[in-house]
């Protein structure tokens, strides 16, 4: 018998050849962790580089230099930035984001309340947009190069071209002001019932749905069209299977990998993209919390929100990569 040393190939290469799927997944996990660490450096350094000073903002322009120096000393701002970064990162890894400079409340507790609102808004938008995007994509394929397909494509291009804040203001103008069919601002609180909360979130949810729906629908259409030219689809048509049923039963399941990939990427955008939407609709989520903190230079809040947004975005992108890897039959069944 020959060992790995006899063949001259290192054991690590042997392992990657035997388990290519596991190797790629571990690589994506390691890359995501390194990327999150790099992003944490950029977030901390970028927030530190913002113009203005919390001590001056807090005390006012008439504050004496000694009073400003005392506040900076109490907050630890007189220490080197590298020392402060590693102390902040170590506490963040334990779930402690410090205390808000402006409100003197625990940042972790405040984020816990706000993050739930943001995730609920993103989940509500995803629940509406994902099935609708897949269905519209299949309908566009069924009526390809005909009037329904052209209408769907024109509407999707228009939706992609408009920024979130403009879509939000249009919805406010028509549905909240002109027709009085929705509430503005989108205020939610703990005592609200489920249906009442959904009603308050109608306009911000519609804005997010319009923003992400078009991209998911177009990618679904492209993925299914690439499958339609396969031999088994031609066989299904020759057997007399109705066109739409063939799309639903055969084309869509075989195009699931790119569809799931683009859905995961858009879910990442939903969570991070709520910042603009929350500000427009005065929705009490993470985005509104971070913007309010930026205006008063509340650095612990800004850094914590930025790190959480980055972690969610990186995690969902990593999940999309892993799904694409697992969906690859060549990696699942190596020779």
pLDDT digits (tens, 9 = 90+) for 96-124: 888 888 788 888 888 888 888 888 888 88
Residues in the chain: 335
pLDDT tens digit sequence for 167-223: 889 999 998 888 888 888 888 877 788 888 888 888 999 988 888 888 888 888 888
Kindly calculate the radius of gyration of the chain based on its CA atoms and give it in whole angstroms. Answer: 25
Angle value at C-alpha 169, between 201 and 217, nearest 5 degrees: 70
99 backbone dihedrals φ, ψ, rounded to 5°:
-115, 140
Using CA atoms, how far apart are residues 231 and 58, in angstroms rounded to an integer?
69
Residue 1 pLDDT level (bands cut at 50, 70, 90): very low
* 3-state SS assignment for residue 158: helix
Rounded CA gap, 71 and 6, in Å? 67
CA distance 201 to 186: 6
Summarize pLDDT for 128-162 with one digit per residue, the tens: 888 888 888 888 887 888 888 888 888 888 877 88
* pLDDT score of 166 more than 70: yes
Among 107, 106, 101, 110, CA closest to 59: 101
Cα(145)–Cα(157) distance, integer angstroms: 16
How buried is 10 (Cβ within 10 angstroms: 0-12 exposed, 13-18 middle, 19+ buried)? exposed
Q: How far apart are CA 126 and CA 193, in angstroms?
A: 21
Q: Is this prediction's pTM over 0.85?
A: no
Predicted pLDDT at 15: 53
Task: Report long-range pairs for 24-27 (Cβ below 8 Å, ≥24 apart).
Answer: 24/325, 24/331, 25/322, 25/325, 25/326
Lowest-confidence segment of 100-104, 105-109, 237-241, 316-320 by average pLDDT: 237-241
Residue spans of the domains in the chain: they are: 116-296
Taking the domain 116-296, which CATH number applies?
Answer: 1.10.3720.10
| Helical axes 147-161 vs 107-142, angle rounded to 10° | 150
Cα–Cα distance, 216 to 220 (Å, whole number): 6
Bigger pLDDT: 65 vs 169: 169
């Amino acid at each position: 018998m020959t060992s790995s040393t006899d063949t001259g190939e290192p054991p690590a290469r042997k392992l990657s050849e035997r388990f290519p799927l596991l190797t790629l997944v571990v690589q994506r996990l390691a890359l995501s962790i390194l990327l999150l660490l790099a992003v944490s450096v950029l977030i901390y350094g970028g927030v530190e580089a913002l113009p203005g000073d919390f001590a001056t903002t807090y005390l006012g322009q008439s504050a004496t230099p000694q009073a400003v120096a005392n506040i900076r000393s109490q907050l630890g701002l007189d220490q080197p930035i590298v020392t402060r970064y590693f102390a902040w990162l170590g506490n963040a890894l334990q779930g402690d984001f410090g205390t808000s400079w402006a409100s003197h409340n625990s940042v972790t507790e405040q984020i816990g309340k706000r993050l739930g609102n943001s995730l609920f808004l993103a989940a509500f938008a995803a629940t509406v947009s994902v099935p609708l995007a897949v269905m519209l994509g299949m309908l566009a394929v069924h009526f390809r190069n005909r009037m329904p397909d052209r209408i769907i494509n024109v509407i999707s291009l228009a939706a992609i071209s408009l920024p979130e804040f403009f879509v939000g203001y249009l919805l406010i103008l028509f549905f909240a002001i002109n027709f009085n069919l929705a509430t503005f601002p989108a205020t939610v609180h703990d005592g609200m019932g489920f249906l009442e909360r959904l009603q308050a979130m109608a306009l911000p949810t519609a804005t997010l749905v319009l923003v992400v729906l078009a991209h998911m629908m177009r990618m679904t259409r492209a993925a299914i069209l690439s499958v339609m030219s396969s031999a088994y689809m031609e066989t299904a048509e020759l057997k007399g299977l109705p066109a739409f049923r063939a799309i639903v039963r055969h084309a869509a399941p075989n195009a699931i990998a790119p569809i799931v990939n683009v859905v995961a990427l858009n879910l990442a955008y939903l969570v991070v993209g709520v910042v603009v939407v929350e500000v427009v609709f005065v929705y009490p989520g993470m985005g509104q919390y971070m913007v309010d903190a930026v205006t008063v230079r509340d650095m612990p809040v800004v850094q914590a929100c930025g790190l959480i947004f980055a972690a969610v975005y990186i995690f969902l992108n990593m999940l999309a990569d892993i799904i694409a890897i697992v969906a690859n039959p060549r990696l699942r069944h190596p020779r």
